[in-house]
Amino acid sequence: MSNEEKQAPQDQVEDVIESEVAQEDAALVDELTQANFRIEELEQALAEAEAKAAEEKDAALRAVAEMENIRRRAAIDVEKSRKFALEKFANELLPVIDNMERALLGTVEDEAAKAVIEGVELTLKTLMTAVAKFGITPVDPMGEAFNPEHHQAIGMQPSTEYPANTVMLVMQKGYLLNDRLLRPAMVMVSQG
């Protein structure tokens, strides 16, 4: 047997081995390529899932924030309603208080009239105590600086007794309801 004949089966074996290795390499390359495609698909699916989760989280946070805002606004509305529910009733009481104060302005020397005046004073004091319990307070700015937020100027007069822009006469007291203006005080203001 010649050397060539001996090498032929050996070459054949080597060719078969090389062929099998090449097939295995090709199969591995195919598997790696498929694995890479699968990894890319999984990464894309993961990115989509993360984006959806972020959207859902954002939507949930917005819903919670909206609920808190609604709850806070409702609490503020309830508090305002509680504080200022008496506003119409208080406005109806103010002329009564004004009339009682006007009744006390005059001086009377008759004993019978003095008893009536004393009764009016006690009634006014009781009424003022009652309305104060509900947050109604008078604004009597005599001698104070003019404040357009709480005072309504009826006119201005020159005065040597008061500095400029000072309340020198109160025609009608103003009133606050829980620190909110119910009625401005009607005043005469000094001119400088």
pLDDT in tens, 139-188: 999 999 999 999 999 999 998 899 999 999 999 999 999 889 999 999 99
Q: Which two tokens stand for residue 75?
A: 């609490």
Domain boundaries, given as residue ranges, for the chain: 1-85, 86-191
Neighbours of 144 (CB within 10 A): 15
pTM of the model: 0.60
Burial level of 14, CB count in 10 A (0-12/13-18/19+)?
A: exposed
Q: Average pLDDT, whole number, for the chain?
A: 87
pLDDT in tens, 37-90: 888 888 999 999 999 999 999 999 999 999 999 999 999 999 888 777 888 899
Domain 86-191 has CATH 2.30.22.10: yes
Answer whether 182's CB lies under 8 Å from 145's CB: no
> Do the bridges between strand 185-191 and strand 151-158 make them parallel or antiparallel, or are there none, so unpaired?
parallel
- The pLDDT score that the predictor gives to residue 112 is 80
User: H helices within the chain, ranges in order?
Assistant: 3-84, 87-103, 111-133
- What DSSP designation does 140 have? -
